[in-house]
Structure 1
Amino acid sequence: MSPVDALTMGPNRPTALRRLNQALIREGFEAFCAADGHCCLRHLVTKSVPALAAHPHRPFTAAEVHRCADLAAYLDGCSEDELLEEALLPLSAGLGFLGQLRTWGW
């Protein structure tokens, strides 16, 4: 379904898309052509479009570099108590460990 392979049917390749959907519907998905011309999948029940996870070894974006610098600056300047109160306790509570933390006197 790559636009590069569309030699005779045009960029949307309606016949190929119809045949692909005949197989995908049995699994609860449908294929469609996105605005950029690439073929994407959509779950029929949730209407969600699965996305690929970011590659862990890719270069950071400018926003990610900025967030890393902010985190490093915070960690360099915070005390142990601030780290526990502002980061680790909320994180632990969000993961469901709030009950255990209260029994330990936190």
Structure 2
Amino acid sequence: MTMQANPPAPLPCYGQMMRRIIYALSALQAVLLAVAVLVSHRFAIVMAGQPLPMWMALVAGLALSALLVPALALAHSRAHQHLGMAMALTPLAGMAALSVYLN
């Protein structure tokens, strides 16, 4: 028995489908983040009575969406594609956990 130096690569269709799922998750989270920024901006206006600068909300949203960049970068790596999937799922899991905790 000989030992293989590298594990066999996954099937091309498997890698392509996982890449598409990572893209879809990242797009979904970017849209949800944009909605959350707009809703929280409106809520802050109602609570504070004065409008907050929109650029502050946009900067916060861009900083949080920067967490998705490594997931997109890892989507192209066959060896680390599963890590990219985990990184794409982590924010959604965090939001679900927060929702369960608050309810």
Pick the structure with more strand per residue: 1
Q: Relative CO higher for 1 or 2, CA cutoff 8 Å, sep ≥ 6?
A: 2
Instruction: Tell me which structure has the larger Cα radius of gyration.
Output: 1
> Normalising by structure 2, what TM-score?
0.26
